[in-house]
Structure 1
């Protein structure tokens, strides 16, 4: 993969959002601005369709919306830190870290590999804590690249 999975311009810190839809739209806007998503509304519809199948909240304050879509040009990960949290359907409450995985529809299992690698790290409190303590987008992107992206 020549294009990095995540870069600082795909991270939003201190996001204020009232619900999962609002934070998802914010992350989609970052993906569009970076040229990784060609149609914000189309991709949002794909994410919502996936979310309607099953909630994507994970224990530990994690939201993990994801979708394969014809509107995605390259596998990407956008991240939001939402201090007040938004509901993603997790059993233990709102998500304060939201990871939007965007994968091309024609791609292979890229998004499943990203999802699995991220999920393996997110079960570790030390990983979640390091992301919460990161004060800027560049640091968040660096932590994820170091801990999640296969070398």
Structure 2
């Protein structure tokens, strides 16, 4: 286990109340900032918004996958939020209830693309989505994601 795991329970929010994707993204960025993984929440949010403007990051199955490389990110990180009421991430089949925010350092190599690819491969499986949706707590969510997504 590296000293900076990709995801920890403190980067998981189980019951987010959010008005839109900007709002939920900001709440997840605040978790990353509180954990010392993002040095400038406003700056990183601007980078994520710029990325979103290029292409919607909603995936079928109620998934939002906002992501960005940024000079404001200190270590590759993944924050996860469950939004029971859903927010629009531009997916063809409606609002997203599971949000995975990938934060990658600007200086990093293609690490975040590997994370994104691994995550996307898991997210096509309904069993994976269901396990995250039904997880009783943040520790369980972090464990599931670490087991299923993080290259060992």
Q: Distance in 1 between matches of 2:22 and 2:49?
A: 8
* Structure 2 Cα separation of the partners of residues 83 and 17 of structure 1: 9
- So what's the TM-score if we normalise by structure 2? 0.98
CA distance, structure 2, for counterparts of residue 30 and residue 110 of structure 1: 21
Structural RMSD (CA): 0.6
- Distance apart, 1:64 and its partner CA: 0.1
User: How many residues are matched?
Assistant: 151
Structure 1 unmatched ranges of 5 or more: none
Superposition map of 1:2-151 within 5 A: 2-151=3-152
CA distance in 2, matches of 1:76, 1:140: 14
C-alpha distance in 1 between matches for 2:126 and 2:58: 16
> Following TM superposition, where does structure 1 have runs of at least 4 consecutive aligned residues deviating by more than 6 angstroms?
none
SS of residue matched to 2:86: strand
Q: What's the TM-score once normalised by structure 1's chain length?
A: 0.99
Gaps of 5+ in 2: none
Corresponding residue SS for 2:56: coil
Distance 1:32 1:3 in 2: 14
Name the CA distance, whole Å, in 1 between partners of 2:25 and 2:104.
15
